[in-house]
Structure 1
Amino acid sequence: MYEVRLDHPADFDGWREAARRALALGVPPEDLSFTVGEGPAGLFAEPLPDAPADAPGFSVPRSFPDLAVKLICHADPERFAFTYRLLWRLQREKGLLEIAADPDIARAHEMEKAVRRDSHKMKAFLRFREVGTEEGRPVYIAWFEPFHHVVELTAPFFMRRFPGMIWTILTPQRSVHWDGAEMTFAPGADPSQKPAEDAVEALWLTYYRSIFNPARLKVKAMQAEMPKKYWHNLPEAVLIEPLIRGAEEASRRMIETAPTLPSLRHERAMERGEMARTAKVPAFNGFNKPPEDLDEAREQARHCKACPLWEPATQTVFGKGPADAPVIFVGEQPGDQEDLAGEP
C-alpha cells in the first residue's frame, strides 16, 4: 500500500502530481491512499516512489480536470481516492464520463453539484467587515463556514470583485488573504477570530428592513436559497424572523392603503400631459446647466420634460435624506404609492 501526503484539504496540485506518478507506476486504486497534513503513517504504508523516466504518457477527456478540481473540494473523506479511481478507469474505459448511469459517474456529478452550490452560497452570504486600516487603506475581514472545501475554488471571485480592497476570509478549514496584489492561503481559523460588526452594518440593516416586501414572502423558497445554517453569520439574520412574523399585518396595511381611484391631482396631471403632447415645450424649461445644490436640482427635476416619463406622473419623486449623506441609494422609477405621495 502506497500513501500520499497532501498539504491541505483541497490540495488539487498535490493530488494531481501524485496521481500522475501512481498512474505511470501502474498503481491500482486499491493500493493507494491519501492523507492530509502531518500525522503517523499507516502501519503497512510506504511513500509513493518517483515515476520512471521512460513512463508512457496518458490523456484524459477535456472536461475531466475541471471535474477533478470540484471533486477534490468536496467534504467526502474518500474524495482523493475516488477521483484517482475515476482517473484509473478513464485510461481503460473510453467514454466513461458520458455514461450517466455508471455509479461512479453519478456520484461524481452529485459531488460536483454540491461543491458548486456551496461555492455559490459563499459568494452570496459572505459579509466583509471593516476592522482597521493598512497604509491608509481600509482592511476587511469576513468569517464564513462552508460545508465543503471551497475556499481555493471561490477566492478568485472575491479577488476579481474587490481588487482594490485589502481583505481576509477566514473559515474553519482554510483562510485566504488579498493585499491588492497577491493572494495567499493559510490554515483555518478559530471562531473567536470572527470580526465584530462595523459602522456600515446599521446602514445595511436599515436598507434590508426597508426593501422587505411582505406580499412576496415565500418562507420555504427563501430557506431553500438561504438555509438556516448560514443565518448565524449574516448580520441581517436578526431581522428575518421578526419580519416573517409581521408579514401578515404588513400585507394587510399595504392593502388598506393601496389607492383605489386616481386622485384629482393625478387626473389633472394626465390632462396637462395630454395638452403638452401638442405643445413644443423646451425639454428642461430653461434649465440647461448643472445644479448648484440639492434645492436647485429638485427644482430642475420638477420641471424636467426631457423624456416621456413625466407625462403620466402626478409629480416628481425627487428623493429624501440629508444633503451631507455619505451614501446614496438610487432606486427604480416610483410606484403608484410614491407617485401619489411624492416621496420614495
Structure 2
Amino acid sequence: MMQVVLPRIGTVAAWRAEVRRLAATGVPPEAVQWAVGDAADDLFNAAPIAAGRAVPLTLPRDAVLAIETALHHSDPQRFARGYAIVLRLARKDLRWGDRSDPALRRLLDQEKAVRRDIHKMHGFVRFREVTPPGANRRAFAAWFEPDHPIVEPAAPFFARRFGDMDWLIATPGLTARCETGQLEFFATQGCAAPPADATEDLWRVYFASIFNPARLMIAAMASNMPRKYWKNLPEADLIPELIRSAPARVRAAHDAMTSAPRRPPRG
C-alpha cells in the first residue's frame, strides 16, 4: 500500500496536488493510505502499486468547493473518501449531489459540519489585548477550541475584519497570526489562554444589555451557543443568573405596563 503524508499546514492544497498526481497515474483509492503530519512505520509502504488508466479530472466547481471544505473535518477517512469521490465523479460513475450514495451523503454532511464550525469560530472568538508597552500597533490574542481543524479556512475572515491591528488565534492544533496585515500559520505551542483584560467587562455589559428575558429559549440558546464554548466567553458567566432571574424580570415588566396610567384619548 502507498502512503501519502500531508503537511499539517496547507493540508488541503497538498491533498489537491496529490490527487492530481495519483489520478494521472491511475492509482486506485484502495491502494492509498492517507496521513497528516508524520509517516507511519508500515511495511506495506514500499509495496509496488499497480497503476491503471489515467483519469482526467473535470469536476463541477461546487463539487470542488464542497469536497475541499469537507476535508477540514476531523474524520481520519476524509482524504480517502474525497479521493474516491473525485475519481467516481470524473468517471461519471457518480452524480454530484446524489445523497442516496452513502459516501457522498457523508461528505456533504461533513461539509455542513465544517461550515457550522467555522461560523461558530467567527462568532465566539473573544480577543484579549496583549499590546506590549510602546508598541505602534495594538495587539490581541484569543484561544479557541473548534470541533474540526478549521483554522486555515476561518482565519481570513479575521484578517479582513481586523486588518488595523495585530492578532493571534491559538487552537489546540494550529495557531493563526496576523501582523501588519500578513497572515501566517504555525503549530500551536502550549495550550494556555491569554490573560483577561478590560474588554471582557465590555462584552459582559453588551451581552446583558441585549438579553431579552421575555424571549428566553434555553434550548435554542444552548444550540446557538453550545456550552463547550462558555469557558472562553467572558459573558458566559452571566448566563446562569440571567436565566434564573428571567421570570421575575418578565413579571416586573408586565406589572409596570399594566399599572402605568393610560393617556386620555385626544379629542
Give runs of aligned pairs for residues 332-343 of structure 1, distance below 5 A.
none
Shift of 1:70: 1.0
Aligned pair 1:172/2:172, yes or no? yes
Greater RCO structure (CA 8 Å; 6+ sep): 2
For 1:162, the equivalent position in structure 2 comes to 162
Aligned-partner Cα distance in 2 for 1:6–1:16: 10
Partner AA of 1:113 in structure 2:
K
Aligned CA distance change for structure 1 residues 88 and 236 (closer, same or farther; 3 Å): same
Q: SS of 1:132's equivalent?
A: coil
Aligned pair 1:145/2:145, yes or no? yes
Aligned pair 1:129/2:110, yes or no? no
For 1:301, the equivalent position in structure 2 comes to none
Aligned CA distance change for structure 1 residues 201 and 260 (closer, same or farther; 3 Å): same
What stretches of structure 2 of length at least 5 have no aligned partner?
A: none
* Contact 1:177–1:184 (CA under 8 A) maintained in structure 2: yes
* Contact 1:73–1:149 (CA under 8 A) maintained in structure 2: yes
For 1:3, the equivalent position in structure 2 comes to 3
Aligned Cα root-mean-square deviation (Å):
2.4
Aligned-partner Cα distance in 2 for 1:48–1:79: 24
For 1:335, the equivalent position in structure 2 comes to none
Aligned-partner Cα distance in 2 for 1:178–1:159: 7
* Contact 1:119–1:154 (CA under 8 A) maintained in structure 2: yes
Deviates most, 129-138 or 228-237: 129-138
Aligned-partner Cα distance in 2 for 1:28–1:256: 72
Runs of 4+ in 1 over 6 A off after TM superposition: none
The TM-score normalised by the length of structure 2 is: 0.90
Q: SS of 1:246's equivalent?
A: helix
Shift of 1:262: 5.0
Partner AA of 1:42 in structure 2:
D
Aligned pair 1:110/2:109, yes or no? yes
Aligned CA distance change for structure 1 residues 135 and 37 (closer, same or farther; 3 Å): same
Q: SS of 1:108's equivalent?
A: helix
Aligned CA distance change for structure 1 residues 182 and 235 (closer, same or farther; 3 Å): same
Aligned-partner Cα distance in 2 for 1:222–1:93: 44
Shift of 1:68: 2.0
* Contact 1:9–1:149 (CA under 8 A) maintained in structure 2: no
Partner AA of 2:67 in structure 1:
A
Partner AA of 2:91 in structure 1:
R
Q: SS of 2:214's equivalent?
A: helix
Deviates most, 89-98 or 206-215: 89-98
Shift of 1:215: 0.8
For 1:240, the equivalent position in structure 2 comes to 239
Aligned-partner Cα distance in 1 for 2:125–2:233: 8
Aligned-partner Cα distance in 1 for 2:19–2:213: 54
* Contact 1:170–1:176 (CA under 8 A) maintained in structure 2: yes
Aligned CA distance change for structure 1 residues 74 and 3 (closer, same or farther; 3 Å): same
Aligned-partner Cα distance in 1 for 2:207–2:70: 36
Q: SS of 1:136's equivalent?
A: coil
Shift of 1:23: 0.7
Aligned-partner Cα distance in 2 for 1:46–1:251: 70
What stretches of structure 1 of length at least 5 have no aligned partner?
A: 275-344
Aligned-partner Cα distance in 2 for 1:171–1:43: 34
Aligned-partner Cα distance in 2 for 1:48–1:189: 38
For 1:333, the equivalent position in structure 2 comes to none
* Contact 1:171–1:189 (CA under 8 A) maintained in structure 2: no
Q: SS of 1:183's equivalent?
A: strand
Aligned-partner Cα distance in 1 for 2:253–2:241: 18
Partner AA of 1:108 in structure 2:
L
Q: SS of 2:57's equivalent?
A: coil
* Contact 2:88–2:94 (CA under 8 A) maintained in structure 1: no
For 1:35, the equivalent position in structure 2 comes to 35
Q: SS of 1:34's equivalent?
A: strand
Query: C-alpha offsets along residues 109-147 of structure 1, whole Å, 9 cap, x if unaligned?
Result: 101110011000001111111011473211000110000
* Contact 2:9–2:185 (CA under 8 A) maintained in structure 1: no
Shift of 1:4: 0.7
Shift of 1:155: 0.7
Aligned CA distance change for structure 1 residues 39 and 108 (closer, same or farther; 3 Å): closer
For 1:72, the equivalent position in structure 2 comes to 71
Question: Percent of aligned positions with the same letter in both sequences?
Answer: 41
